[in-house]
Every structure is written in C-alpha cells, then in structure tokens.
C-alpha cells in the first residue's frame, strides 16, 4: 500500500530517505547537491557558461567565425565547474576536425606533422563526445610540470587523469597565438594523452624553436621523459 506506515514514517518517505543516505555514502550524490536542494536551488545546474566563462566562449565563437567561417552554437555547450589552478577554458567546436585545425594553424605559422596522411584518418580520440565541448586546462605556456616523466599509459591506467587531445592542443595553440603572437611548449612538449594514432602511438606537440615551427610528432604510450608532459583536462 502506498501510504503504509513504518513506525512514524510513511513507507515511501522512508524509502526516499534510505535511498538518499545510501547515495551519499556511495558518493553517487554529494552533500553540496543535497544542501542546494534543501535551500531551494537546482542541485544539478545545466553547466551553461556564465560570467567570465561565457565571455571566453564568446571569444572562441569569434575565433571560429573569423578563422574558419564556422558559427558556434553556444547554447549547447556545457562548461564544467572550474578547478582551482586549472583556469584556461578550451572550446572544441563540433564542426572543426583535427586536420582542419592543423591546416588553419599552418596558415598562421609554420607547422610540420609526422605523417603525410590526413590527421582525421590516422588519429582518433579515446573519449569521443558529440557536439561542441568545453573543458578546463592549466593556463600555462609549458605543459603541466606536475606530470613530467609520466607517460600517457600511466596517466590513463594509474592516475586516472584525462589529458588534452590533439585537436584541442592545436586549437589552444591557435588561440594563444592570436592572443599573444607567441607559442606554447617552447621548452617542453605536450603529450596528447586523449588521442591515439591507429598504431597505438600518442601525439606529441611542441614548438621547435630552432626550426621555427609547430611539430606534431608521436611517441609510444609507455614513453616518459622530463620535458614531455600531459596537459590535464577537466571536463
């Protein structure tokens, strides 16, 4: 019976209470979510960008429009909560492929890649997502010092930390160049740990100061080196 009592509490209410406690215990739900609900706020915000985040999304929209002739639909972009110290918002537009990003970069400054094939044919993302996406990375010229000497395989299997992929890294280079006229990874290289070549190798991107160009190279998933680092991506 729907209104049956268990002690002084209706059975349905007891079920909801018990389910809530179990979800909190198992960390399926958080106390912050429960607190927001109790205060009459939406515990599950849409993630639509507001404030400074929205301004940055608008900057990305202008960049895509100006450089690619692509109209970014900002209404469908989810922006996750920002983590302290990880404050560079990157927006990857659904209609811009990795090869398109590389070609545009090559129009702006010298570039080289380790394959004659289209990057769209030989590189894929380990975590494919539909639509345009927004995520946070550290706002630094050099890839994350925190992950020096950590290979892509260990980032995935041991640390369980996602890193920026090849498309995102190239787009970041483009936006940084348009902002500053300078380049990323002058002294180090970004391991694009969320991307793989078809043969299992991992893209590595850096600015080759002597050659004066952006290099898209490749390393093994097990390769670790002091100047090769993952750029953590919070999504």
Q: Is the dihedral of CA 83, 88, 93, 98 positive or negative?
A: negative
Per-residue pLDDT of the chain (235 residues; tens, 9 = 90+): 445 655 666 766 766 777 788 767 766 566 766 766 776 655 555 566 667 888 999 999 999 999 999 999 988 888 888 888 999 999 999 999 999 999 999 999 999 999 999 999 999 999 888 889 999 999 999 999 999 999 999 998 999 999 999 999 999 999 999 999 999 999 999 999 999 999 999 999 999 988 899 999 999 999 999 999 999 999 8
Question: Smallest Cα–Cα separation from 186: which of 170, 206, 166?
Answer: 206
Q: Tell me if 141 sits within 8 A of 187, measured CB to CB.
A: no
pTM of the model: 0.80
Question: Smallest Cα–Cα separation from 98: which of 128, 138, 142?
Answer: 128
- Domain boundary assignment for the chain: 5-38, 51-230
Q: What is the per-residue DSSP string for 111-149? A: EEES-SS-HHHHEEESS--SS-EEEEE---SS--GGGTT
Q: Which SS3 state, helix, strand or coil, does residue 1 take?
A: coil
Question: Smallest Cα–Cα separation from 68: which of 112, 117, 102?
Answer: 102
Q: Looking at residue 37, what is its pLDDT?
A: 75
Q: Looking at residue 30, what is its pLDDT?
A: 67
Tokens of residue 43, six digits: 């515990």
């Amino acid at each position: 019976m729907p209104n049956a009592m268990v002690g002084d509490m209706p059975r349905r209410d007891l079920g909801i209470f018990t389910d809530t406690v179990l979800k909190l215990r198992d960390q399926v739900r958080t106390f912050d979510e429960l607190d927001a609900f109790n205060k009459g706020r939406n515990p599950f915000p849409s993630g639509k960008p507001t404030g400074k985040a929205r301004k940055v999304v608008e900057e990305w929209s202008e960049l895509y429009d100006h450089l690619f002739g692509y109209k970014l639909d900002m209404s469908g972009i989810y922006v996750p909560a920002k983590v302290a110290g990880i404050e560079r918002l990157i927006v990857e537009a659904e209609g811009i492929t990795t090869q398109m990003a590389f070609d545009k970069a090559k129009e702006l400054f010298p570039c080289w890649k380790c394959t004659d094939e289209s990057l769209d044919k030989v590189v894929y993302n380990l975590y494919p997502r539909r639509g345009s996406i927004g995520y946070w990375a550290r706002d630094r010229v050099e890839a994350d010092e925190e992950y020096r000497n950590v290979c892509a395989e260990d980032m995935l299997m041991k640390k369980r930390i996602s890193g920026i992929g090849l498309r995102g890294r190239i787009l970041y280079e483009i936006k940084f160049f348009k902002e500053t006229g300078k380049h990323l990874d002058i002294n180090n290289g970004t391991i694009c740990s969320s991307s793989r070549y078809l043969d299992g190798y991992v893209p590595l991107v850096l600015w080759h100061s002597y050659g004066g160009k952006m290099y898209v190279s490749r390393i093994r998933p097990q390769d670790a080196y002091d100047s090769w680092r993952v750029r953590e991506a919070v999504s």
